[in-house]
Structure 1
Amino acid sequence: MGYSRGAGAYQQVRTGGGIEAADAHGLITLLMDGALERIRLAVACIATGNIAARGEAISKAIEIIGGLQGGLNHDVDPSLTERLDALYDYMARRLLQANLHADAAALDEVAGLLGQIRDSWVAIPAEARQVPAAGVGA
Protein backbone atom coordinates (compact mmCIF):
# COMPACT_ATOMS: atom_id res chain seq x y z
CA MET A 1 0.00 0.00 0.00
CA GLY A 2 1.37 3.44 -0.85
CA TYR A 3 1.40 5.32 2.41
CA SER A 4 2.00 8.63 0.67
CA ARG A 5 -1.52 8.25 -0.73
CA GLY A 6 -2.76 7.34 2.75
CA ALA A 7 -2.70 10.94 3.86
CA GLY A 8 -5.47 11.79 1.41
CA ALA A 9 -7.91 9.73 3.44
CA TYR A 10 -7.67 12.31 6.18
CA GLN A 11 -8.08 15.38 4.00
CA GLN A 12 -11.58 15.91 5.39
CA VAL A 13 -11.54 15.02 9.06
CA ARG A 14 -14.71 15.20 11.09
CA THR A 15 -14.15 16.35 14.62
CA GLY A 16 -16.56 16.57 17.50
CA GLY A 17 -16.86 18.15 20.90
CA GLY A 18 -15.10 21.46 21.51
CA ILE A 19 -12.29 21.01 19.02
CA GLU A 20 -13.98 22.20 15.82
CA ALA A 21 -11.69 25.23 15.67
CA ALA A 22 -8.54 23.14 16.03
CA ASP A 23 -6.32 22.60 13.01
CA ALA A 24 -7.37 19.15 11.81
CA HIS A 25 -3.97 18.33 10.34
CA GLY A 26 -2.19 19.24 13.57
CA LEU A 27 -4.71 17.29 15.63
CA ILE A 28 -4.19 14.11 13.63
CA THR A 29 -0.42 14.56 13.89
CA LEU A 30 -0.71 14.93 17.67
CA LEU A 31 -2.83 11.79 17.90
CA MET A 32 -0.29 9.79 15.92
CA ASP A 33 2.55 11.18 18.04
CA GLY A 34 0.63 10.27 21.18
CA ALA A 35 0.11 6.69 20.05
CA LEU A 36 3.78 6.34 19.10
CA GLU A 37 4.82 7.72 22.49
CA ARG A 38 2.56 5.20 24.28
CA ILE A 39 4.04 2.37 22.21
CA ARG A 40 7.60 3.46 23.10
CA LEU A 41 6.57 3.57 26.76
CA ALA A 42 5.12 0.06 26.51
CA VAL A 43 8.40 -1.24 25.04
CA ALA A 44 10.26 0.31 27.98
CA CYS A 45 7.77 -1.26 30.40
CA ILE A 46 8.42 -4.69 28.89
CA ALA A 47 12.14 -4.16 29.44
CA THR A 48 11.60 -3.21 33.09
CA GLY A 49 8.85 -5.74 33.80
CA ASN A 50 6.26 -3.08 34.67
CA ILE A 51 3.13 -5.00 33.68
CA ALA A 52 0.58 -2.45 34.90
CA ALA A 53 2.18 0.50 33.12
CA ARG A 54 2.62 -1.61 29.97
CA GLY A 55 -1.09 -2.41 29.95
CA GLU A 56 -2.05 1.21 30.51
CA ALA A 57 0.26 2.47 27.74
CA ILE A 58 -0.98 -0.12 25.26
CA SER A 59 -4.61 0.58 26.16
CA LYS A 60 -4.06 4.30 25.49
CA ALA A 61 -2.37 3.50 22.16
CA ILE A 62 -5.33 1.32 21.16
CA GLU A 63 -7.73 4.09 22.16
CA ILE A 64 -5.85 6.64 20.06
CA ILE A 65 -5.70 4.31 17.05
CA GLY A 66 -9.45 3.80 17.45
CA GLY A 67 -9.87 7.57 17.33
CA LEU A 68 -7.79 7.79 14.17
CA GLN A 69 -9.83 4.96 12.67
CA GLY A 70 -13.09 6.63 13.64
CA GLY A 71 -11.94 9.89 12.04
CA LEU A 72 -11.51 8.39 8.60
CA ASN A 73 -13.80 10.00 6.05
CA HIS A 74 -14.91 7.16 3.81
CA ASP A 75 -16.32 9.63 1.26
CA VAL A 76 -12.85 10.93 0.31
CA ASP A 77 -11.41 7.78 -1.29
CA PRO A 78 -13.42 4.73 -0.25
CA SER A 79 -10.85 2.21 -1.46
CA LEU A 80 -8.02 3.92 0.40
CA THR A 81 -9.98 4.51 3.58
CA GLU A 82 -11.08 0.87 3.62
CA ARG A 83 -7.42 -0.18 3.52
CA LEU A 84 -6.50 2.30 6.26
CA ASP A 85 -9.47 1.13 8.31
CA ALA A 86 -8.26 -2.48 8.00
CA LEU A 87 -4.70 -1.43 8.84
CA TYR A 88 -5.84 0.38 12.00
CA ASP A 89 -7.85 -2.70 12.95
CA TYR A 90 -4.76 -4.86 12.44
CA MET A 91 -2.65 -2.49 14.54
CA ALA A 92 -5.16 -2.60 17.40
CA ARG A 93 -5.19 -6.41 17.32
CA ARG A 94 -1.37 -6.55 17.29
CA LEU A 95 -1.27 -4.20 20.27
CA LEU A 96 -3.63 -6.49 22.17
CA GLN A 97 -1.38 -9.45 21.35
CA ALA A 98 1.67 -7.44 22.41
CA ASN A 99 0.06 -6.78 25.77
CA LEU A 100 -0.97 -10.40 26.31
CA HIS A 101 2.46 -11.79 25.42
CA ALA A 102 4.77 -8.90 26.41
CA ASP A 103 5.80 -8.86 22.75
CA ALA A 104 8.15 -5.96 22.01
CA ALA A 105 8.47 -7.10 18.37
CA ALA A 106 4.71 -6.63 17.86
CA LEU A 107 4.97 -3.15 19.38
CA ASP A 108 7.86 -2.33 17.05
CA GLU A 109 5.80 -3.57 14.10
CA VAL A 110 2.87 -1.32 14.97
CA ALA A 111 5.19 1.64 15.59
CA GLY A 112 6.72 1.09 12.15
CA LEU A 113 3.33 0.96 10.43
CA LEU A 114 1.99 4.00 12.25
CA GLY A 115 5.27 5.83 11.68
CA GLN A 116 4.93 5.34 7.92
CA ILE A 117 1.40 6.72 7.97
CA ARG A 118 2.55 9.66 10.10
CA ASP A 119 5.46 10.42 7.76
CA SER A 120 3.06 10.56 4.81
CA TRP A 121 0.63 12.68 6.78
CA VAL A 122 3.16 15.33 7.79
CA ALA A 123 4.50 15.42 4.21
CA ILE A 124 1.22 16.87 2.93
CA PRO A 125 1.99 20.36 1.58
CA ALA A 126 0.64 23.19 3.74
CA GLU A 127 -1.69 24.42 0.99
CA ALA A 128 -3.34 20.99 0.83
CA ARG A 129 -3.92 20.84 4.59
CA GLN A 130 -6.92 23.13 4.62
CA VAL A 131 -10.10 21.34 5.63
CA PRO A 132 -13.16 23.09 4.21
CA ALA A 133 -15.61 24.34 6.82
CA ALA A 134 -18.21 21.94 5.43
CA GLY A 135 -15.85 19.03 6.15
CA VAL A 136 -15.50 19.79 9.86
CA GLY A 137 -18.14 19.55 12.51
CA ALA A 138 -20.47 17.16 14.18
Structure 2
Amino acid sequence: MFSPASARAASSYRKASVDGASPYQLINILFERTLQSVRSARLSIQQGDVDGKCQHIGMAVRYIEEGLKLGLNPDRNDDLANRLSSLYDYCVRQLTLGNLRSDETPVAEVQQLVEQIAEGWRGIANEAQQVRAMPSLSVGA
Protein backbone atom coordinates (compact mmCIF):
# COMPACT_ATOMS: atom_id res chain seq x y z
CA MET A 1 0.00 0.00 0.00
CA PHE A 2 2.65 2.56 1.09
CA SER A 3 6.38 2.37 0.55
CA PRO A 4 8.45 2.44 3.75
CA ALA A 5 9.64 5.97 2.89
CA SER A 6 6.13 7.34 2.33
CA ALA A 7 4.89 5.62 5.49
CA ARG A 8 7.70 7.29 7.47
CA ALA A 9 6.90 10.65 5.88
CA ALA A 10 3.21 10.30 6.77
CA SER A 11 4.13 9.33 10.33
CA SER A 12 6.43 12.34 10.65
CA TYR A 13 3.71 14.64 9.33
CA ARG A 14 1.17 13.26 11.83
CA LYS A 15 3.67 13.61 14.68
CA ALA A 16 4.44 17.22 13.74
CA SER A 17 0.74 18.11 13.60
CA VAL A 18 0.25 16.63 17.08
CA ASP A 19 3.42 18.11 18.59
CA GLY A 20 2.45 21.68 17.70
CA ALA A 21 -1.24 21.36 18.59
CA SER A 22 -3.08 23.14 21.38
CA PRO A 23 -5.12 21.07 23.87
CA TYR A 24 -8.27 21.93 21.89
CA GLN A 25 -6.62 20.85 18.66
CA LEU A 26 -5.39 17.60 20.21
CA ILE A 27 -8.92 16.62 21.19
CA ASN A 28 -10.12 17.60 17.73
CA ILE A 29 -7.44 15.36 16.21
CA LEU A 30 -8.66 12.50 18.42
CA PHE A 31 -12.23 13.04 17.22
CA GLU A 32 -11.08 13.10 13.58
CA ARG A 33 -9.06 9.91 13.96
CA THR A 34 -11.86 8.18 15.86
CA LEU A 35 -14.32 9.06 13.11
CA GLN A 36 -11.89 7.99 10.41
CA SER A 37 -11.52 4.60 12.12
CA VAL A 38 -15.29 4.21 12.57
CA ARG A 39 -15.95 5.07 8.91
CA SER A 40 -13.28 2.59 7.82
CA ALA A 41 -14.80 -0.07 10.09
CA ARG A 42 -18.21 0.47 8.51
CA LEU A 43 -16.72 0.12 5.05
CA SER A 44 -14.90 -3.06 6.11
CA ILE A 45 -18.18 -4.51 7.43
CA GLN A 46 -19.92 -3.66 4.15
CA GLN A 47 -17.14 -5.34 2.18
CA GLY A 48 -16.95 -8.40 4.45
CA ASP A 49 -13.34 -7.56 5.38
CA VAL A 50 -13.09 -9.16 8.83
CA ASP A 51 -9.43 -8.23 9.40
CA GLY A 52 -10.04 -4.61 8.41
CA LYS A 53 -13.15 -4.42 10.58
CA CYS A 54 -11.26 -5.69 13.62
CA GLN A 55 -8.32 -3.38 13.01
CA HIS A 56 -10.43 -0.23 12.54
CA ILE A 57 -12.77 -0.94 15.44
CA GLY A 58 -9.75 -1.64 17.63
CA MET A 59 -8.25 1.72 16.67
CA ALA A 60 -11.54 3.54 17.34
CA VAL A 61 -11.78 1.92 20.77
CA ARG A 62 -8.19 2.96 21.55
CA TYR A 63 -8.84 6.56 20.50
CA ILE A 64 -11.91 6.65 22.72
CA GLU A 65 -10.45 4.85 25.75
CA GLU A 66 -6.87 6.12 25.68
CA GLY A 67 -7.50 9.56 24.21
CA LEU A 68 -10.96 11.04 24.55
CA LYS A 69 -11.90 9.38 27.83
CA LEU A 70 -8.52 9.94 29.50
CA GLY A 71 -8.63 13.56 28.35
CA LEU A 72 -11.72 14.32 30.41
CA ASN A 73 -11.16 16.76 33.25
CA PRO A 74 -13.66 16.14 36.07
CA ASP A 75 -12.08 18.98 38.08
CA ARG A 76 -13.45 21.54 35.63
CA ASN A 77 -16.95 20.10 35.22
CA ASP A 78 -17.63 16.89 37.10
CA ASP A 79 -21.15 16.38 35.71
CA LEU A 80 -20.10 16.87 32.08
CA ALA A 81 -17.05 14.63 32.50
CA ASN A 82 -19.20 11.86 34.02
CA ARG A 83 -21.78 12.11 31.24
CA LEU A 84 -19.14 12.03 28.52
CA SER A 85 -17.36 9.13 30.24
CA SER A 86 -20.62 7.17 30.27
CA LEU A 87 -21.26 8.04 26.63
CA TYR A 88 -17.75 6.93 25.66
CA ASP A 89 -18.31 3.64 27.55
CA TYR A 90 -21.54 3.17 25.58
CA CYS A 91 -19.69 3.84 22.31
CA VAL A 92 -17.07 1.22 23.17
CA ARG A 93 -19.81 -1.32 23.97
CA GLN A 94 -21.56 -0.57 20.66
CA LEU A 95 -18.31 -0.89 18.72
CA THR A 96 -17.63 -4.21 20.44
CA LEU A 97 -21.13 -5.40 19.57
CA GLY A 98 -20.70 -4.34 15.96
CA ASN A 99 -17.39 -6.15 15.83
CA LEU A 100 -18.73 -9.38 17.36
CA ARG A 101 -21.79 -9.49 15.10
CA SER A 102 -20.23 -7.86 12.02
CA ASP A 103 -23.19 -5.49 12.28
CA GLU A 104 -22.89 -2.00 10.85
CA THR A 105 -25.88 -0.59 12.80
CA PRO A 106 -24.19 -0.09 16.21
CA VAL A 107 -21.05 1.20 14.48
CA ALA A 108 -23.14 3.73 12.54
CA GLU A 109 -24.72 4.83 15.82
CA VAL A 110 -21.27 5.45 17.29
CA GLN A 111 -20.34 7.48 14.23
CA GLN A 112 -23.40 9.67 14.69
CA LEU A 113 -22.75 10.16 18.42
CA VAL A 114 -19.08 11.01 17.98
CA GLU A 115 -19.90 13.43 15.14
CA GLN A 116 -22.31 15.26 17.45
CA ILE A 117 -19.81 15.43 20.31
CA ALA A 118 -17.06 16.58 17.93
CA GLU A 119 -19.30 19.31 16.56
CA GLY A 120 -19.95 20.57 20.08
CA TRP A 121 -16.24 20.44 20.85
CA ARG A 122 -15.40 22.50 17.76
CA GLY A 123 -17.91 25.11 18.94
CA ILE A 124 -16.24 25.27 22.35
CA ALA A 125 -12.78 25.49 20.77
CA ASN A 126 -13.90 28.31 18.44
CA GLU A 127 -15.35 30.27 21.36
CA ALA A 128 -12.16 29.80 23.38
CA GLN A 129 -10.05 31.07 20.47
CA GLN A 130 -12.27 34.14 20.12
CA VAL A 131 -11.97 34.91 23.83
CA ARG A 132 -8.16 34.58 23.68
CA ALA A 133 -8.04 36.83 20.60
CA MET A 134 -9.99 39.63 22.30
CA PRO A 135 -7.80 42.55 23.37
CA SER A 136 -7.50 42.89 27.10
CA LEU A 137 -8.99 46.01 28.59
CA SER A 138 -6.87 47.94 31.01
CA VAL A 139 -8.61 49.78 33.79
CA GLY A 140 -7.65 53.39 34.41
CA ALA A 141 -5.64 53.77 31.22
* Gapped regions of structure 1 (runs ≥ 5): 1-18, 131-138
Aligned-partner Cα distance in 1 for 2:74–2:19: 19
* Runs of 4 or more consecutive aligned structure 1 residues displaced over 6 Å after TM superposition: none
Q: Which has the higher contact order (CA 8 A, sep 6+)?
A: 1
Per the normalisation by structure 1, the TM-score is: 0.76
Q: How many residues align?
A: 113
Partner of 2:104: 104
Aligned match of 1:93: 93
Which structure: larger Rg? 2
Between the aligned residues of both structures, percent identity stands at 36
User: What is the distance in 2 between the residues matched to 1:65 and 1:93?
Assistant: 11
Alpha-carbon contact 1:25-1:129 (below 8 Å) kept: no
Of stretches 121-130 and 88-97 in structure 1, the one that deviates more from structure 2 is 121-130
Cα distance in 2 for residues equivalent to 1:114 and 1:59: 16
Change (3 A) 1:83 1:51: same
Q: Are the counterparts in 2 of residues 94 and 106 from structure 1 also a CA contact under 8 Å? A: yes
> Could you tell me how far apart the structure 1 residues matched to 2:72 and 2:26 are?
13
Deviations 1:75-100 (A, max 9, x none): 01101110100000110111011100
Following superposition, the deviation at residue 22 of structure 1 comes to: 2.9
Q: Structure 1 residue 48 and structure 2 residue 47: aligned? A: yes
Q: Distance in 2 between matches of 1:58 and 1:109?
A: 13
Q: What CA distance in whole angstroms lies between the structure 2 residues aligned with 1:96 and 1:71?
A: 21
Structure-2-length-normalised TM-score: 0.74
Counterpart amino acid of residue 82 in structure 2: E
Separation of aligned partners in 2, 1:95 and 1:123: 26
More helix by share: 2
Q: Tell me the residue number matched to 1:62.
A: 61
The two structures, once aligned, show a CA RMSD in angstroms of: 1.9
